[in-house]
Structure 1
Amino acid sequence: MGLFAYALAGGSFVFIGAWESLISFPQNQRSASSATTAQQPSQRTKTRTTSSASSSITSVSVCFVSFFFILNSLISMFDALKSRDRTGLVLQLEVIAIASLFFLYSMLGLLSHFKNSILLPSSILNLLCLFAFFEEFFLFYLQRKDTSGIENRYFDLLLVPIGICVFSTILELKTPKSKFSRTARGIGLILHGMWLVQMGFSFFSDAMAHGCSLHEKSRGNYTVKCKGHPEYHRGRAIATLQFNCHLALLVVFIVGAYSIICRKTGIEGDLMQYRPLGAEMQQLDGQARFTLDSDDDNEDGIREEGNLEDQKTVVVVPGSEMNGHDSH
């Protein structure tokens, strides 16, 4: 594919994942509850239009990326035919099948947004997306062109973000109204894109591990071979270290973005609503006592003064009773 293809595909995945995470982020619960009761029909229509526009942007982006993969695979197929590389030809056919599923998913999503006569349930679209992620997972899990090549380590680590996308899509099928599954899928797509960019630099640039080199049978069939066992071991260790660095960078970015969004939307304000313990303290009969109000309310709303002591639990601090006794 080359460095440019990996960089373009990875950047597109990062954009789609970031957009999915932002539009699915839960809004402030207080403002959402008050806005629901006071919202006018015109405002509700505007909200649905905005949500549809956000989903259409995702569909257009997925359509562009899948079409790019199909075009790139077709070019690689002609190169494999020219080089008489049967393995490369089969690999590109598998990539075209996966990209076609994503392309169908995006096109059906666009038709559902722009054509009211074609309204597909979200479960069907999510199921189609799940099949595409499953096929991509098995493509990289079973891809062993050269068992000794260190590119297999990069493919194994790529299974982590793909697995996150599979798991989050299954959760979205189970709970379609939950936004956290869509957020998790966006995070998985971001990590997927970051790792694709890293693979491009590790395979097609000077950032390749020392003592290793790229060997291409065709445009889409390549392997990274090293001089000896120490070089192979170091190359796999470098791949693991690079993935850990990408994962740590993503965690730091998510935590920072989450805190900023929470501060701007006021979500953290809901977590700070509590009654101080000092509000329950009461002074009774000049002694240091406090009462815990009963949770059971009277049906008539009137509490007789004679039964006040029966409705409260009185705890006497031992130190206060010592003041009433004569010292000897």
Structure 2
Amino acid sequence: MGGTPRSSIGHILPGAGFVAVGMWHMFNHMKLFSQQPETYVAPVWFPVAGARYLELGLIIAGSAVEFAMEMFIDHSTLLPFAADGSIPSDRLHNHEHAIICLSLLVYAAAAVHLDRVAGAGARARDALCLLLVAAVFAQELLVFHFHSTGDHAGVEGQFHWLLQVVVAACLATALLGIGFPRSFAVSLVRSACIVFHGVWLAVIGAMVWVPSFVPKGCSLVREDGRDTVRCHSKESLHRAKALANLQFGWYFSFLTVFVVALYLYVCKRYPAAAGEAAYMPLQKDAGDDGDDEGMDVVDDAHKGGVARGGSVHGFATLEIEV
């Protein structure tokens, strides 16, 4: 078998996208926390000076392209349905992957719209955006847990079981971010999980569909219109699963070391301004229900002011450099 380039690339390219977004978030969360540790509030996404919606625009474009690839392109027929309107059995996994792409597209488009709508509080916007992020990971967890491509008993299934662990961590940290918007630990772990999510997707694309990486005693076979790995004996299957577990552990360890090293570098490169007030309380009249408004001012200082510069009520904003 020569392998399936579409299956391999279809995992590696989305994996690279998750790595890019996760690294972008990780670096900027570290930078923001290093410069303003006492007033840190975690943004859901980071604007770019001169191109405010670059991150969200790339997510929309990438999701739309992948959706089109799954549903229409690189198949014997461009139509995702059979002549009678049913879904062919060999296209079920394409529809499942397309649902994840659609969820990502909905999140990014909604985040752009919410940012442009006047009158919505910053806390409410961030909470809703994080709920949409959680919906993406919940959708992905559901799809991979009940994947139509197998019963999770083979090599491919083992890789998908481990992927579910990472997706579940992404889901948990997205939900925790709603209740703890000032927690740097939650934001850091969420960003690292997104990076690991992308790394593991790329690993799946390489280890399952590149023939030279298939474990010893296993081979690529054609089943139900798609290529997958099948092992020739129980011993080979156990060995292949153990290798997948070992890879997961090694990549996890490497990522942990990388996150610590990056954090130390960012703290050294972007220290907090000397002599700058760490905290300035907001004033409000007695009996005035201004807690939410005050919090919105703080959040806007961290998020909305990123692209504009300046400060709001004593809270310095962060200028993100690209």
Same fold at TM > 0.5? yes
Please say if 1:212 is aligned against 2:218: yes
Farther-moved stretch of structure 1 (115-124 vs 9-18)? 115-124
Counterpart in the other structure of 2:20 = 15
- Do the aligned partners of 1:213 and 1:224 also contact (CA within 8 Å) in 2? yes
- Do the aligned partners of 2:70 and 2:97 also contact (CA within 8 Å) in 1? yes
- Do the aligned partners of 2:89 and 2:224 also contact (CA within 8 Å) in 1? no
Residue 179 of structure 1, CA deviation: 4.2
Q: Which of 124, 127, 151 is the equivalent residue of 1:123?
A: 127
- Give distance in 1, aligned partners of 2:134 and 2:159: 22
Farther-moved stretch of structure 1 (228-237 vs 121-130)? 121-130
Farther-moved stretch of structure 1 (136-145 vs 237-246)? 136-145
**TM-score (norm. length: structure 1):** 0.67
- Do the aligned partners of 2:31 and 2:270 also contact (CA within 8 Å) in 1? no
- Do the aligned partners of 1:76 and 1:92 also contact (CA within 8 Å) in 2? no
Please say if 1:136 is aligned against 2:131: no
Q: Secondary structure at the match of 2:245?
A: helix
Q: Which of 29, 34, 53 is the equivalent residue of 2:48?
A: 53
Calculate percent identity across the aligned residue pairs. 20
Residue 234 of structure 1, CA deviation: 1.0
Residue 94 of structure 1, CA deviation: 2.2
Counterpart in the other structure of 1:64 = 61
Counterpart in the other structure of 2:92 = 90
- Give distance in 1, aligned partners of 2:39 and 2:136: 38
- Higher relative helix content: 1
Mapping of residues 175-254 of structure 1, within 5 Å: 175-205=180-210, 206-217=212-223, 221-254=226-259
**Aligned partner letter, 1:67:** A
Residue 103 of structure 1, CA deviation: 0.1
Q: Deviations over 1:179-227 (max 9, x none)?
A: 44332221111101111111111112211101212224467x4431011
Please say if 1:169 is aligned against 2:174: yes
Residue 102 of structure 1, CA deviation: 1.0
**Aligned partner letter, 2:111:** G
**TM-score (norm. length: structure 2):** 0.68
- Give distance in 2, aligned partners of 1:252 and 1:77: 39
Q: Which of 155, 158, 161 is the equivalent residue of 2:160?
A: 155
Mapping of residues 271-290 of structure 1, within 5 Å: none
Is there any run of 5+ residues in structure 2 with no aligned partner, and where?
1-5, 276-322
Q: Deviations over 1:151-182 (max 9, x none)?
A: 00000111122112111101111123444433
**Aligned partner letter, 2:112:** L
- Give distance in 2, aligned partners of 1:186 and 1:76: 31
Is there any run of 5+ residues in structure 1 with no aligned partner, and where?
37-47, 271-328
Distance of aligned partners of 1:34 and 1:7 in 2 relative to their CA distance in 1, 3 Å threshold: closer
Task: Flag the structure with more relative contact order, 1 or 2, with Cα contacts below 8 A and sequence separation at least 6.
Answer: 2
